[in-house]
């Protein structure tokens, strides 16, 4: 892939008619995303052939009482049966007649997708002779151009079913004007998260892992919290991050950018980063107009 997944702040709308196109890899969560948008009041259509999108939008636009917010899924099945490539349809179609178009691309890594298909026992729509892994690789290559023109790329690899649902609910709500802020702790030893707008490193702080009494605990436990916050550097770091967010959040909102993701990492993602994220989240919860999503990616990794 030419670049890492991005879950950007570019999922904004200005109050006019909105068309959200949900696409991406099979098994990455498109159905869950569509349900979240339906719950947010969108008129939803699943698996619309790409070539029918312009006519569908035109038909909806002609009706004064038609839906003002539409979400639809267009995926590899439409290309298989009808031959159109969604990226070509999007690039060659004028949506200027009162519509704002946003494209959401969903993906996950190959082991995760293979595991989901094994668990569900459903066939992959592009699989030949039951070779799911080959189908995933082929689909990823085929959809790379579409991924590159997407407004938002969401990687669902390490998300639980509940977290996938919450992430899409946040994105659906953000399209109605509320700023969604996602803050995640993580461990560098398990890899840097790819779906963040900003990444901060807390490994300069004293590590509770080296205290035998604190090692089996997590940042949710009070002894670990007290140990981390006993560091003057930790307290100053939290204040500086709070100040940075205080500066950034209203400016994202004024630009209409309604989704922002922040990752804060330490070595294992169990102690320092968890405490820092919880402290920052505590102040954001008191701020009106924010839909806050907090996640501790690697809390159960060890």
Give the DSSP H or E segment for 199: strand 198-201
pLDDT-based confidence at residue 13 (cuts at 50, 70, 90): very low
The mean per-residue pLDDT over the stretch 196-209 comes to: 94
- 18, β-bridge pairs: 69, 100
Contact in structure between 156 and 108 (CB atoms under 8 Å)? yes
Specify whether the CB–CB gap between 113 and 136 falls below 8 A: yes
The pLDDT value given to residue 61: 76
- Whether the CB-CB separation of 259 and 104 falls below 8 Å is answered with no
Beta carbons of 13 and 102 less than 8 angstroms apart: yes
Domain ranges in the chain are 17-177, 180-296
Average pLDDT over residues 106-123: 86
- 135 has pLDDT over 90: no
Q: What does the pLDDT look like over 142-180, one tens digit per residue? A: 888 888 888 888 888 878 777 877 778 777 766 555 677
The phi and psi torsions of 260 (rounded to 5 degrees) equal: -140, 130
State mean pLDDT over 31-36: 88
Residue 10 has pLDDT above 50, yes or no: no
Give the C-alpha separation, 238 to 282, whole Å: 11
Q: How far, in Å, CA of 89 to CA of 18, rounded?
A: 17
pLDDT at 269: 95
Does residue 302 or residue 208 have the better pLDDT?
Answer: 208
17-177 adopts what CATH topology?
A: Rossmann fold (3.40.50)
Helix (H), strand (E), coil (C) string for 10-23: CCCCCCCEEEEEEE
Asked if residues 258 and 251 have their Cβ atoms less than 8 Å apart, the reply is no
Q: Alpha-carbon torsion 116, 271, 183, 204, what sign?
A: negative
pLDDT at 97: 61
Q: What is the pLDDT of residue 175?
A: 56
Q: What are phi and psi of 93, to 5 degrees?
A: -120, 135
Q: What is the mean pLDDT of residues 278-291?
A: 84
Mean of per-residue pLDDT scores for the chain: 82
Cβ-contact 46, 73 below 8 angstroms: yes
Q: Which secondary structure element, helix H or strand E, spans residue 294, and what is its range?
A: strand 290-296
Return all residues near 300 (Cβ < 8 A) that are at least 6 apart: none
């Amino acid at each position: 892939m030419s670049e890492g997944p991005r879950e950007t702040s570019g999922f904004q709308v200005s109050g006019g008619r909105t068309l959200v196109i949900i696409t991406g890899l099979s098994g990455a969560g498109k159905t869950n995303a569509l349900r979240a948008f339906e719950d947010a009041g969108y008129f939803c259509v699943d698996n619309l052939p790409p070539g029918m999108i312009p006519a569908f939008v035109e038909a909806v636009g002609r009706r004064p009482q038609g839906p003002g917010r539409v979400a639809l899924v267009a995926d590899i099945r439409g290309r298989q049966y009808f031959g159109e490539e969604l990226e070509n349809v999007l690039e060659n179609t004028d949506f200027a007649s009162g519509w704002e178009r946003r494209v959401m691309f969903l993906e996950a890594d190959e082991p995760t997708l293979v595991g989901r298909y094994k668990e569900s026992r459903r066939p992959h729509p592009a699989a030949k002779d039951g070779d799911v892994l080959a189908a995933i690789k082929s689909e990823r290559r085929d959809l790379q151009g579409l991924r590159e023109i997407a407004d938002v790329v969401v990687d669902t690899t390490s998300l639980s079913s509940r977290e996938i649902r919450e992430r899409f609910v946040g994105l659906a709500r953000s399209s109605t004007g509320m700023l969604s802020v996602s803050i995640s702790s993580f461990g560098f030893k398990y890899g840097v998260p790819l779906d963040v707008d900003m990444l901060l490193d807390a490994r300069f702080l004293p590590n509770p892992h080296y205290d035998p009494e604190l090692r089996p605990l997590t940042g949710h436990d009070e002894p670990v919290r007290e140990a981390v916050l006993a560091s003057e550097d930790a307290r100053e770091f939290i204040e500086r991050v709070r100040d940075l967010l205080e500066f950034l959040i209203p400016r994202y909102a004024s630009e209409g950018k309604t989704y922002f993701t922040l990752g804060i990492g330490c070595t294992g993602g169990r102690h320092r980063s968890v405490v820092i994220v919880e402290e920052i989240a505590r102040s954001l919860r008191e701020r009106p107009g924010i839909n806050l999503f907090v996640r501790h990616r690697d809390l159960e990794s060890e």
